[in-house]
Amino acid sequence: MPRLHPFCIVLLACLGSSASAQMPPVLAAAPSTPAAPAQPHLQPSSDGAFVIDTRARLAWPRCVEGMQWTGSSCSGQPRLLSHAQAQALAVQRWKAEGVGWRLPRVPELRRLVDKSTQPPALNPQLFPNAPAGWHWTATANVNTGSVNPYAYGNVARGGQGESALSVVQGWAVDTGSAEASPDFGRSTLLFVRFVRPAPEQEKAAEPAADAATERP
C-alpha cells in the first residue's frame, strides 16, 4: 500500500477541518404541537351515550333513529321517516322518558358537521357509522301564493281569499355537505337524529350560544 507524503496528510487534515467549520450546525426539530380539535364544542358525555354541544347545551344521541349504541359504535339499520312520523316519535319519546326530545333546528344540526374536512362530514369518532344524507329538522318552510277560491281544490282546502296556504314543506340538512334545503315535502322519508337539552351534569361553564343566530 503506498504511503502518503507528510505534506498530503497535513493538506487533507486542513481541508477536513475547514469543511467541518463551514457546515451549518444540525438543529433539533422543534416538537410538533398537536392540532386543536376542529369541533371543540362537541364532546362525548361521561357515559358515552351522547355527544354534548357545550355551547348550545344540547345532547345528541350517538346514533340516528333505527340504530343502537353498543358502547363503542352504532349497529343496525337507520330508519327513514316522514316529517309527521318523526314529530310523533319525538312526542312519544318525550312522554315515555320525561325528556324534551325534539327534531333539531337547521343551525343546530349543521353545527354537527365538521366543515374542516373535505368533503364535510360528521366526525366518525363522535358519530360512528352515521349515514350521510338528508336529515329532517323542525324548521318549517311555508310557501303562499295567489289562489282562486272558486277552484274545487282550493275550496276543499278552505281557500277564501287571494292568498292561501299552498305548500307546506320542511327544511332538511345534508350531513355529508352541511347544505340545508327547504324543498322537501313533509311526506318525504329522511333520516332522523333527535336532540334534547343536555343533562345538568354535562353542561359546560361556557355561556350558551344562541343557535338561532345562524339563519338557514
* Chunked mean pLDDT (size 10), the chain, 216 residues: 52 48 41 53 94 96 98 97 97 95 97 92 96 94 44 40 50 95 94 95 50 49
Query: pLDDT at position 2, please?
Result: 55
Q: How confident is the prediction for the chain on average, in pLDDT?
A: 76
CB 103 within 8 A of CB 200: no
Output the CATH code of domain 39-213: 3.10.100
Query: pLDDT at position 39, please?
Result: 84
pLDDT digits (tens, 9 = 90+) for 114-167: 998 889 999 999 999 999 999 999 997 655 333 333 343 433 344 443 333 334
Query: pLDDT at position 200, please?
Result: 81
Query: pLDDT at position 6, please?
Result: 52
What cell numbers appear for 1 in the block?
A: 500500500
| Per-domain boundaries in the chain | 39-213
pTM: 0.68
Half-sphere exposure of 215 (CA within 13 A, CB side): 1
